[in-house]
Chain A
Amino acid sequence: MKKVSFAHMGYSYLGFKQLVEDMGFEAIVPANPSPATLDLGVQYAPEFACIPFKTVLGTYLEVLNRGAEMIITSGGVGPCRAGLYGLLHEKILRNLGYNFELFIFDPPLTGLGPFFWKLRRVLKEARLSWLAFIDVVRRAWAKLKLLDELEQMATVTRPYEIKRGATTRAFNQCLEIIDRARSSKEIAAAREECRQLLQSVPRDEERRPLRIGIVGEIYVLLEPFMNLDIEKTLGEMGVITKRSIYLTNYTTTDVLAHGTEDIRQIAHPYLNQFVGGHGQSSVGETILYARNGFDGVIQLAPFTCIPEIVAKSILPRVSRDFNIPVLSLTIDEQTGRAGVETRLEAFVDLLRQRREQMEARSNAALLPGY
């Protein structure tokens, strides 16, 4: 059986693991990125490549050392250099003497032909019919959707938890349950079981958590190792977070279609062109969070990420115009946990004070559970 692997991004590995295994390959599941993964990536990556590049390179090296023969990954489009990362990864790895197959799937809309031919080659290798493949994808997709749903559920539960860490523990249990579920029926049952598990976390409904929207580059947003567990950290400080990107909604809106038009239109007065990556979305989503009454927005950007730098320089104006505090965090292999925690804590303090002040001014109590 061919040993197939893929990049690690948040909890999506559970979905991809199933996809690869159901296609009849042996899955080499990449481990959670660790400082060792990053060190490995940093060692062979160009210095000013962004941190997603370095981490993914480190992950590839780890899976290749574990015997992976084929890596399936996604490409990218637009001015952001991430579009060329797959090719660069391949060059670096080949120079290091690794022998493997790499399939980079660019979004189908950028070229249906190449997408189709590549897929055909993979399926041929898997000896899988198109019909069977559709079924495999459908189930993997259901799993990915479930993961996204539970991640969101965990972020709205965490600020209410009475025992610190209880939600995270329940969520980790959910991951194991999801991993075992294979058929559509099992996945549906796992959904029920996991939802119950998270619902049964003892809650203090009296609390009124803050709401913070998180925008920025997809990899640092989805991979907890990269963003120093920002959602857990904030959750335990009593904050409900909402990410603008979850893998499945991103795939439907941006990979299989030309993006959610409205986000671009909302961003238009401040940034009227596509600058690659998620730059324009970061601006648009910040405005949307402000309109929806969020208390603040945090932008996560990898160091040297051009689209996010463009957004970062525009966000102070958005912040002023829409009266919503924005905190920008730049993530790099040099990023220290103490620094990030200080900024997050201070930001939450600021938002609390701000809310108290606004409440005192309007002298009207907000509904509990706000």
Chain B
Amino acid sequence: MQPCYLGIDVGSVSTNVVVISATGEILSSLYLRTHGQPIQAIKEGLRQTMAALPGDVEIAGAGTTGSGRTLAGAIIGADIIKNEITAHAVASRQEVPDVQTILEIGGQDSKIIILRQGVVTDFAMNTVCAAGTGSFLDQQAARLGIPIEHFGDLALKSRNPVRIAGRCTVFAESDMIHKQQMGHNTEDIIGGLCEALVRNYLNNVAKGKEILPPIVFQGGVAANAGIRAAFAKALGQEIIVPRHFAVMGALGAALLARDYVAKHPGTRFKGFEVSEEDYQARSFICQGCSNLCEIVNIEADGQLIARWGSRCGKWDTLGE
């Protein structure tokens, strides 16, 4: 049996599942849409991963990351539950060992991670606006009637990208409509949109950070050639997109799980069969005090497997 490690990244837009070997080679990788139903996405991801794996594979450790990491961790029985920043940094370091800057644009979050000598020294995430993220591009592509897959190639055809206000999605959208009404062609508008998104990212997320090469660009949006070109132009640097750019979070989680299990032997992973179980989340408002916390219970086949949400800790222990 070959010991392997499972990593799951449950984000707001996508859910990714990766299985790596002990050397960090990816054996299986999966990119699914979360569609607002993380439990379904996790189950589906596990099911497909199990089908894709060769028979001699044994999961020796499992890790989760992403905004749904706690939920995913409770369902699969993760050994380590880590935030996206750390997971991304770990994955990037494996792909490009001397990386100094990581640009990451996902569905709802965009982030920049600064590493020096292999250690994260600084990071930032978008705080008050999601203008510079994948969902916004998705939405605009849909509005223009262009499949998102062709979006980047069209942007590259632009000779004269129009300047679009990229401060915030609402402004960007209305400015874009204005530019359309003025008669600009679609390529130039899309080209302009890519530049606006990159400008927004550099001004609001990467603000004040020293962007040194090698620069790695990852997350779902890295598939977009238009954004890649806009970054290269704005930074005047080569932009490296790693092979597994879309599943770097899951890869990081798997790597973290591998390192964790090496130090703390014995995995808590419940096995792929958990995808067969029936999960339910129930919530109630605790009336114990005036905080009125919303307590969430996660049940598997009627059995309580996890609970969170209380501020005082009253409900933290299972079986109370």
Check B1 for interface membership: any CB of A closer than 8 A: no
Residues of A within 8 A of B207 (CB): 313, 316
Instruction: Flag if A342 contacts B85 (CB, 8 Å).
Output: yes
Q: Which of B121, B127, B292, B312 contacts A328 (CB 8 A)?
A: B127
Instruction: Flag if A350 contacts B120 (CB, 8 Å).
Output: yes
Check B86 for interface membership: any CB of A closer than 8 A: yes
- In chain B between 103 and 129, which residues have their CB closer than 8 angstroms to a CB of chain A? 109, 117, 119-123, 125, 127-128
Check A79 for interface membership: any CB of B closer than 8 A: no
Residues of A within 8 A of B208 (CB): 316-317, 320
Instruction: Flag if B83 contacts A349 (CB, 8 Å).
Output: yes
Instruction: Flag if B292 contacts A35 (CB, 8 Å).
Output: yes
Bound CA span A36–B290, Å: 11
| Contact pattern, A 193-222, Cβ under 8 Å of B = 1, otherwise 0 | 000000000000000000000000000000
- In chain A between 223 and 279, which residues have their CB closer than 8 angstroms to a CB of chain B? 224-225, 229, 232
| Contact pattern, A 89-118, Cβ under 8 Å of B = 1, otherwise 0 | 000000000000000000000000000000
Residues of B within 8 A of A313 (CB): 207
Instruction: Flag if A303 contacts B128 (CB, 8 Å).
Output: yes
- In chain B between 87 and 116, which residues have their CB closer than 8 angstroms to a CB of chain A? 109
Residues of A within 8 A of B270 (CB): none
Instruction: Flag if B119 contacts A31 (CB, 8 Å).
Output: no
Bound CA span A319–B122, Å: 10
Which residue of the partner chain B has the closest CB to A332?
B128
Check A345 for interface membership: any CB of B closer than 8 A: yes
Bound CA span A341–B82, Å: 11
Bound CA span A34–B292, Å: 7
A231 CB, nearest partner CB in chain B, Å: 12
* Number of interface residues, chain B, beta carbon within 8 A: 28
Residues of A within 8 A of B119 (CB): 353-354, 357
Bound CA span A224–B289, Å: 15
A348 CB, nearest partner CB in chain B, Å: 9
Residues of B within 8 A of A345 (CB): 82-83, 85-86
Check B84 for interface membership: any CB of A closer than 8 A: yes
B60 CB, nearest partner CB in chain A, Å: 23
Instruction: Flag if A330 contacts B122 (CB, 8 Å).
Output: no
Q: Which of A316, A346, A354 contacts B83 (CB 8 A)?
A: A346
Residues of A within 8 A of B117 (CB): 357
Which residue of the partner chain A has the closest CB to B111?
A346
Residues of A within 8 A of B125 (CB): 339, 342-343
Residues of B within 8 A of A36 (CB): 292
Q: How many residue pairs bridge A and B at CB < 8 Å?
A: 78
Instruction: Flag if A316 contacts B127 (CB, 8 Å).
Output: no
Q: Chain B's interface: helix, strand, loop or mixed, by majority?
A: loop
- In chain A between 136 and 171, which residues have their CB closer than 8 angstroms to a CB of chain B? 164-165, 168-169
Check B35 for interface membership: any CB of A closer than 8 A: no
Q: Which of A31, A34, A164 has the most CB of B within 10 A?
A: A34
With contact pairs A32-B291, A34-B292 given, residues A346 and B122 touching in the complex (Cβ less than 8 Å): no
Residues of B within 8 A of A320 (CB): 208
Check B236 for interface membership: any CB of A closer than 8 A: no
Check B302 for interface membership: any CB of A closer than 8 A: no
Instruction: Flag if A346 contacts B85 (CB, 8 Å).
Output: yes
Which residue of the partner chain B has the closest CB to A345?
B83
Residues of A within 8 A of B127 (CB): 328-330
Residues of A within 8 A of B290 (CB): 31-32, 34
B127 CB, nearest partner CB in chain A, Å: 5
Check A41 for interface membership: any CB of B closer than 8 A: no
Instruction: Flag if B121 contacts A316 (CB, 8 Å).
Output: no
Instruction: Flag if B316 contacts A164 (CB, 8 Å).
Output: yes
Residues of A within 8 A of B311 (CB): 224, 229, 232
B74 CB, nearest partner CB in chain A, Å: 14
Instruction: Flag if B291 contacts A349 (CB, 8 Å).
Output: no
Instruction: Flag if B291 contacts A225 (CB, 8 Å).
Output: yes
- In chain B between 178 and 213, which residues have their CB closer than 8 angstroms to a CB of chain A? 207-209
Instruction: List residues of chain A with CB under 8 Å of any chain B CB.
Output: 31-32, 34-36, 164-165, 168-169, 172, 224-225, 229, 232, 303, 313, 316-317, 319-320, 325, 328-330, 332, 338-339, 341-343, 345-347, 349-350, 353-354, 357
10 shortest interchain CB distances as A-B pairs: A316-B208, A165-B313, A346-B85, A31-B290, A345-B83, A338-B67, A34-B292, A32-B290, A346-B83, A342-B83
Extra pairs beyond A225-B291, A303-B128 (19, CB < 8 Å): A35-B294, A164-B313, A165-B313, A165-B316, A319-B122, A320-B208, A325-B121, A332-B128, A341-B83, A342-B83, A342-B84, A342-B85, A343-B85, A346-B83, A346-B84, A346-B86, A350-B85, A350-B121, A350-B122
